[in-house]
Chains A and B, each alone.
Chain A
Amino acid sequence: MTHSANPTYDELERAQALAWSPLTGALPAAGAADPVAPAQPWRFARRHARAAAALVLLLVLMFPFLWLVQLALRPENDVFSDELLFTPTLASFAGLLQGNFARSFGNSLLVSTLSTALSLAIGVPAAYALARWNFKARSQVALWILVTRMAPPIAFTIPFFLAYRWLGLQDTVIGLAIVYLTFNLAIVIWLMQTFFEAVPPAMEEAAYIDGCGVWQAFWRVTLPLAAPGLAATAVLCFVFSWNDFFYALILTRTEAITAPVAIVNFLQYEGWEWSRIAAAGTLVMAPVVVFTLVVRKWLVQGLTAGGLKD
């Protein structure tokens, strides 16, 4: 075996296997006589260990989710039976649609979409300004925006509650969307700022020279180049709004109740309806999964490749 400056993967692996064999108690004589042979089982184990570990980890992480989904599909009367085989039924989902859950689900969709759209509409231009214009106290402004996200949400509940009662925004979809907007703005501004900074200013300068104004250059050149970042940011905003339980619980009563809060109602009023809870939980997770899958393409795509000489 020749040792080149850059050893191959096999060579490295063999060397590692050799280094390990004394620790495993392999016979030194056998190891000395044929360094490769006793390493074979190890090699097999090492090669597949990573995949096996990933699989185990995946199962552990997915377990609550999978358990919830199977719970939702079980007939109501044997929710807690430990038989693995059962006839799946959509009865609990159908039950949900007949009750008020569909409305709460609609509220959740509306609130999350609205707050995501508003956060992007306000936050993206702000992030662009912070990324491109050097003005006094730029970094202080950016820091204070971030600080709004650092305080514990509970600190804002009473002010929000009182203000909303006074403004008549209690128990309204728009009111809830505004609360989420205040929290999402910080995320949007900070994330988009870094994405905009990654777009070379020369691109915009080329656009100015080609006949764009500031707005056109932003719209036609900078924003498309930051699209992967925009998609990632939108997903995060949506998920944050969608998953919120706390504010929805405090600021809504009946009209604007969101899906996570509605689930709790299954515990309180109609007894402990595990099937429905599981079905509702599954439905609540669905949009997040779908949304993430849809924007995945942009999440991983490196759009700026090749525009500049690296």
Chain B
Amino acid sequence: MASIELRQLAKRYGKTPVVHGIDLHIADGEFVALVGPSGCGKSTLLRMIAGLEETSGGEILLGERRIDAVAPRDRDIAMVFQNYALYPHMTVADNLGFSLRLQKLKAAEIRARIAEVADILGLSALLERKPGQLSGGQRQRVAMGRAILRRPQAFLFDEPLSNLDAKLRVQVRTEIKALHQRLRTTTVYVTHDQVEAMTLADRIVVLKDGRIEQVGTPLELYDRPGNAFVAGFIGSPAMNFIPGRLQLDGAPHVLTDDGLRLPLPAAAPRAEHGARVVYGARPEHFTLDDDEGVAAEVRVVEPTGSDTQVALRVAGHEVIAQLRERVSARPGELLRLKPQAAQAHLFDAGSGQRLN
């Protein structure tokens, strides 16, 4: 096992840059998720680490070894593909043992390693089947088994769960996490699903347009997103944004164009009185308060049992609120919604940078 270090890593297709000088250190044994919208360069980044894509600049280090000019076969990195990429003409056992056969290991040892991994992943009964005879979840596990069996320096996952149905996805997600806790192999995991990233990763790297927006632990990104993009990307349902002007006379607050008053934490934000800002509030940071709440028109009420998700209109903006209490309001009714001042986020209206 080894750390992975990216130094000014860049990728251009012709003259179009898709990854702009990425610097990132992934510690030995760490689980790092790369997230971002499609086209943000996360898969390209992963494929460069794997060696399937040539770099256009910068360095990749695996431990102390520089690998960006090394062929994929000599990098000692295993990868799980989005569509599994199992060899359809080989049995599960042959798929698992393929890399070991290439390493010219003894047949007895290959058999033993296959048996061990098959046991971990519950594939023992399927070893003689061909991939075509397996379910999606089973194929997924074979793909993971193929990676584990090699005992590589690092695992790369390229959206491994996106082809599974919702229930299986949650199950395999847990399996991946358990596997990492057991093997402690350095892992880079690409996903567009921020819930996957939040639940699995030690650290998350949020990418946009080939640049890193923010790196941090899941809760850091959730609690203190560095800019409006990260704030909107991490968390589901997404954070609500309401534009307005910063007011620093008295308790800091944001005044919307409709004259609604949205409270801010007491600490002074890094902006001047009257600046154009965007007020951010996560759906669960609203309460119903008949005295201090702002008027919000109910549009849709979605009870989930544990809480109630309400879509409302506040000052002409769509707002989603997740309320602990059960709400029986009907569409068109007015509720008094109060954002929790201590949890409020403040972003610059132009740059999107965090201001508090």
Min Cβ gap A41→B in Å is 45
B72–A209 touching, CB < 8 Å: yes
B83–A309 touching, CB < 8 Å: yes
Closest B residue, CB atoms, query A306: B132
Contacting residues of chain B (86-132) with chain A, CB-CB under 8 angstroms: 86-89, 98-99, 102-103, 130-132
Assembly CA distance A231 to B51 (angstroms): 33
B88–A205 touching, CB < 8 Å: no
Q: CB-CB contacts of A34-49 with B at 8 A, as 1s and 0s?
A: 0000000000000000
Interface size class of B (residues with CB under 8 A): 20 to 34
Partner of B131, one of A208, A212, A306: A306
A51, CB-defined interface residue at 8 Å: no
A290, CB-defined interface residue at 8 Å: no
A307–B51 touching, CB < 8 Å: no
Assembly CA distance A221 to B77 (angstroms): 20
Closest B residue, CB atoms, query A204: B85
Min Cβ gap B183→A in Å is 18
A203, CB-defined interface residue at 8 Å: yes
Residues of B within 8 A of A26 (CB): none
B182, CB-defined interface residue at 8 Å: no
Residues of B within 8 A of A202 (CB): 81, 83, 85
Min Cβ gap B113→A in Å is 14
Q: CB-CB contacts of A201-228 with B at 8 A, as 1s and 0s?
A: 0110111111111001000110011010
B178, CB-defined interface residue at 8 Å: no
A85, CB-defined interface residue at 8 Å: no
How many residue pairs bridge A and B at CB < 8 Å?
87
B79–A303 touching, CB < 8 Å: no
Tally of contact residues, A, Cβ under 8 A:
25
Q: CB-CB contacts of B68-82 with A at 8 A, as 1s and 0s?
A: 000111000111010
B88–A210 touching, CB < 8 Å: no
Residues of B within 8 A of A309 (CB): 83-84, 136, 139, 163
A305, CB-defined interface residue at 8 Å: yes
Residues of B within 8 A of A303 (CB): 88-89
Min Cβ gap B322→A in Å is 34
Q: CB-CB contacts of A266-310 with B at 8 A, as 1s and 0s?
A: 000000000000000000000000000000000000011111110
Assembly CA distance A200 to B85 (angstroms): 8
B87–A307 touching, CB < 8 Å: yes
B78–A225 touching, CB < 8 Å: no
B168, CB-defined interface residue at 8 Å: no
Residues of B within 8 A of A220 (CB): 98
A205–B102 touching, CB < 8 Å: no
Closest A residue, CB atoms, query B132: A306
Assembly CA distance A308 to B87 (angstroms): 9
Assembly CA distance A210 to B149 (angstroms): 10
Min Cβ gap A249→B in Å is 43
Closest B residue, CB atoms, query A305: B132
B27, CB-defined interface residue at 8 Å: no
Min Cβ gap B76→A in Å is 9
B144, CB-defined interface residue at 8 Å: no
Assembly CA distance A207 to B88 (angstroms): 12
B275, CB-defined interface residue at 8 Å: no
Partner of B146, one of A210, A212, A221, A307: A210
Assuming the contacts A211-B99, A306-B132, A309-B83, asked whether A225 and B88 have C-beta atoms less than 8 A apart, the reply is yes
B268, CB-defined interface residue at 8 Å: no
B40, CB-defined interface residue at 8 Å: no
Assembly CA distance A249 to B99 (angstroms): 53
Contacting residues of chain B (32-81) with chain A, CB-CB under 8 angstroms: 50-52, 71-73, 77-79, 81
Assembly CA distance A24 to B308 (angstroms): 68
Residues of A within 8 A of B87 (CB): 203, 206-207, 221, 225, 307
Assembly CA distance A227 to B132 (angstroms): 17
B134, CB-defined interface residue at 8 Å: yes
| Residue of B51, B73, B102, B130 contacting most chain A CB atoms (<10 Å) | B73
Assuming the contacts A208-B52, A211-B73, A211-B102, asked whether A307 and B81 have C-beta atoms less than 8 A apart, the reply is no
Assembly CA distance A307 to B92 (angstroms): 11
A307–B73 touching, CB < 8 Å: no
Closest A residue, CB atoms, query B79: A209
Assembly CA distance A309 to B89 (angstroms): 15
Assuming the contacts A211-B103, A213-B71, A305-B132, asked whether A206 and B85 have C-beta atoms less than 8 A apart, the reply is yes
Residues of B within 8 A of A208 (CB): 51-52, 71-73
Closest B residue, CB atoms, query A227: B89
Residues of A within 8 A of B71 (CB): 208, 213
Assembly CA distance A305 to B133 (angstroms): 9
Residues of A within 8 A of B98 (CB): 207, 210, 220
| Residue of B52, B85, B102 contacting most chain A CB atoms (<10 Å) | B85
Min Cβ gap A237→B in Å is 23
B81–A206 touching, CB < 8 Å: yes
Assembly CA distance A307 to B150 (angstroms): 20
B83–A210 touching, CB < 8 Å: no
A205–B73 touching, CB < 8 Å: no
Assembly CA distance A216 to B99 (angstroms): 12
Assembly CA distance A211 to B81 (angstroms): 15
Interface positions of B (Cβ within 8 A of A)? 50-52, 71-73, 77-79, 81, 83-89, 98-99, 102-103, 130-134, 136, 139, 146, 150, 163
- 10 tightest A-B contacts by CB? A306-B132, A307-B88, A206-B85, A210-B99, A211-B102, A202-B85, A208-B72, A309-B163, A308-B83, A305-B132
5 contacts between A and B (CB under 8 A): A209-B73, A211-B102, A212-B102, A307-B84, A308-B84
